[in-house]
Structure 1
Amino acid sequence: MDYTRQTAYSDPREFTALLAELPSDVPSLAAAIRNLVVHYRASEIAFSDERLREIDSRWVDRLLAHDQERFPGSLLAPRPEQDRIAGCCRDFTLLSVAALRVHGVPARSRVGFADYLEPGFHSDHVITEWWDGTRWHAVDVEFDPEWGMPVDPLDVPLGPGGLRPASQVWTAYRRGDIDVNKCGVGGAENPLRGAWFVRNYVLNEIAHRYGDELLLWDTFGVQSLELDGDLTLIDEVAALVTAADAGDASAEQRLEHRYRNDPRLHPGPTVTSYSPRTEEAAELVLAR
């Protein structure tokens, strides 16, 4: 896959020129993205129902349209925190991926579980990867390096202590090496955790890898709200992700072929979405 090309989700469309004005160096770009997006939940801002609708914006141009309604013009002008786009880690990431692609830099999103957000818990998270011509670098554009995180947001390891890709977490669970009930959405009372949740995130991980950068609460294929179905299928694709990450070009080709040709692994024309805004299931058409 050519990671310099926009996907249906990352394409800024009429806002391409605005994204092109953002800096291309990753630290400066990350700061610019933080000026555009605020986490709808972690910020503890009491957003109105109308503002919360922004969290269900699948496409970069829709995200930027929300911003431009309030701040027409340059994306570099400061925005008050409460007036930034209401989103989540996926939106910080997708905007940065879109901007890097505008600059011709290969970039993609990585879906997994962060060890650095909540002590003793593996929190669901999405971060950015960019290619320097030799290797991939993982960065968490949501967090300022000056905030004193347990990891350097500009150099996040893909593994223990950093972001564990969902494929790694699934394999560790199947080996009995991780408490899967400590993997999911953070917060002591949140039920969105466990083996079914990790299984779903393995499929989210490969969907994002191959250009279907869906909302984290969209479900498709063999995803469900319980642990069911053919788990060996998840074992196989998780193993292929791990091999591809290690540089196995054959594994990368086989993984992409399986993703694109097996309807159990990729979204069809619709998804079932469980937006935290409504907490109700809704079948939604992906076509624009």
Structure 2
Amino acid sequence: MEGIDRWIPHSAMTDPGRHANAIAALPSEVGALIQIIQGVLIHSDWVREYGLDETKLNSTARTTLPIAERLNDVLSRDPRPLSIQRSADKRSVGTCRDYAMMLCSFLRCKGVPARMRCGFAAYFSNAWEDHWVCEYWDSSAGEWCLCDPQIDQMLRQRSQISFDPANVPRQSFMSAGEAWLECRRARADPTSFGHGNVTGLWFVKINVLRDHYVLSGRETSSWDRWRDAPQPKRAVTGSELELLDALAANPEQPLVEIAPDW
């Protein structure tokens, strides 16, 4: 399938399986879907903000699950329809990628071209924070629209976010490739990109690879284990630059298989 419509069929990760009928009953408007997702998910990094005990998180908290499995988890905690907002302690605990993947799955179920993107958000702190969002094709405008279903009322207040999560300004989110090229052109400081105290060009490299993979239908990859990388591996070598420059400039090119220890 060519062009925009290639982003309508599900991947193995976004296929809702037996939950397709439940999703079909949901509204089609993007903002409404975002609110529904916020009512069934909670982010593992923010559980304390919702009054939960972070020491009691289970193994799914930082594991990106296929949507069919994630919805199994949602309904095992509360079997009511997905449109009913759960209390925080009854929601499935995941990460930003789970929010983005769920919106991507719901939109594809509605026949809307949608995909996930890996990059960096400027709206959580003064730095560019490692983050995943969803893009959908706005046919009326003829362009991709950025959405961040993670931005609920708590995050709006905490981070003073004023924009609509269904329409994230492009200047507020930088795809990994854009970040890489800005750093390479000395227009951005690599240490301002990362996750927590892990920052720098090496982290930008990791997200360049992850964004390339997701645009090839690989929503998860070996690069998700970046936390396990030993310090000597947290570097970018001169031999890597040409390929990374090419992937950053054209992340939608045919998949380049890269060894996990590269």
Q: TM-score range by the shorter chain?
A: 0.7 to 0.9
Which amino acid is the alignment partner of residue 202 of structure 1?
A: V
Q: Say whether 1:196 aligns with 2:199.
A: no
Task: Supply the distance in 2 between the matched residues of 1:127 and 1:24 (Cα, whole angstroms).
Answer: 18
Map of 2:186 onto structure 1: 176
Map of 1:20 onto structure 2: 24
1:111-130 maps to which residues of 2 (within 5 A)?
Answer: 111-119=118-126, 121-130=127-136
Q: Say whether 1:239 aligns with 2:245.
A: no
Which TM-score applies when normalising by structure 1?
0.77
Map of 1:78 onto structure 2: 85
Provide the identity percentage: 28
Selected match of 2:235 from 226, 230, 249: 226
Aligned residues: 240
In structure 2, the residue corresponding to 1:197 is in which secondary structure? Answer: helix
1:6, CA displacement in angstroms? 0.5
Task: Supply the distance in 2 between the matched residues of 1:171 and 1:50 (Cα, whole angstroms).
Answer: 37
CA contact (8 A) 1:33 1:92 kept: yes
Q: Say whether 1:263 aligns with 2:260.
A: no
Map of 1:206 onto structure 2: 212
1:55, CA displacement in angstroms? 2.7
Task: Supply the distance in 2 between the matched residues of 1:217 and 1:115 (Cα, whole angstroms).
Answer: 21
Q: Say whether 1:131 aligns with 2:125.
A: no
Task: Supply the distance in 1 between the matched residues of 2:94 and 2:131 (Cα, whole angstroms).
Answer: 13
Q: Say whether 1:143 aligns with 2:155.
A: no
CA contact (8 A) 1:116 1:151 kept: no
CA contact (8 A) 2:78 2:90 kept: no
Which amino acid is the alignment partner of residue 12 of structure 2?
A: A
Which amino acid is the alignment partner of residue 226 of structure 1?
A: A
Task: Supply the distance in 1 between the matched residues of 2:118 and 2:110 (Cα, whole angstroms).
Answer: 23
Map of 1:156 onto structure 2: 168
CA contact (8 A) 1:122 1:182 kept: yes
Task: Supply the distance in 2 between the matched residues of 1:32 and 1:9 (Cα, whole angstroms).
Answer: 19
1:132, CA displacement in angstroms? 2.1
Map of 2:229 onto structure 1: none
In structure 1, the residue corresponding to 2:15 is in which secondary structure? Answer: coil
1:155, CA displacement in angstroms? 1.6
1:49, CA displacement in angstroms? 5.1
CA contact (8 A) 1:157 1:163 kept: yes
Task: Supply the distance in 2 between the matched residues of 1:231 and 1:200 (Cα, whole angstroms).
Answer: 13
1:94-105 maps to which residues of 2 (within 5 A)?
Answer: 94-105=101-112
Which amino acid is the alignment partner of residue 5 of structure 1?
A: P
Task: Supply the distance in 1 between the matched residues of 2:97 and 2:117 (Cα, whole angstroms).
Answer: 9
1:150, CA displacement in angstroms? 4.6
1:78, CA displacement in angstroms? 2.2
1:54, CA displacement in angstroms? 3.8
Name structure 2 gaps, 5 residues minimum.
227-232
Runs of 4+ deviating beyond 6 Å: none
Choose between structure 1 and 2: higher helix proportion.
2
In structure 1, the residue corresponding to 2:34 is in which secondary structure? Answer: helix
1:48, CA displacement in angstroms? 4.8
Task: Supply the distance in 1 between the matched residues of 2:21 and 2:58 (Cα, whole angstroms).
Answer: 25
Which TM-score applies when normalising by structure 2?
0.84
Map of 1:10 onto structure 2: 14
1:29, CA displacement in angstroms? 0.5
Which amino acid is the alignment partner of residue 34 of structure 2?
A: A
The verdict on how the C-alpha distance between 1:97 and 1:66 changes in structure 2, with shifts beyond 3 A counting, is same
1:31, CA displacement in angstroms? 0.3
Superposed CA deviations along residues 106-142 of structure 1, whole A, max 9, x for unmatched, are: 10111111111102x0001111111122211111111
CA contact (8 A) 2:47 2:54 kept: no
Task: Supply the distance in 2 between the matched residues of 1:194 and 1:14 (Cα, whole angstroms).
Answer: 42
Name structure 1 gaps, 5 residues minimum.
242-251, 273-288
Map of 2:98 onto structure 1: 91
Instruction: Calculate the aligned-residue CA RMSD, in Å.
Output: 2.2
1:50, CA displacement in angstroms? 5.7
Deviates more, 1:209-218 or 1:31-40: 209-218
Task: Supply the distance in 2 between the matched residues of 1:96 and 1:144 (Cα, whole angstroms).
Answer: 14
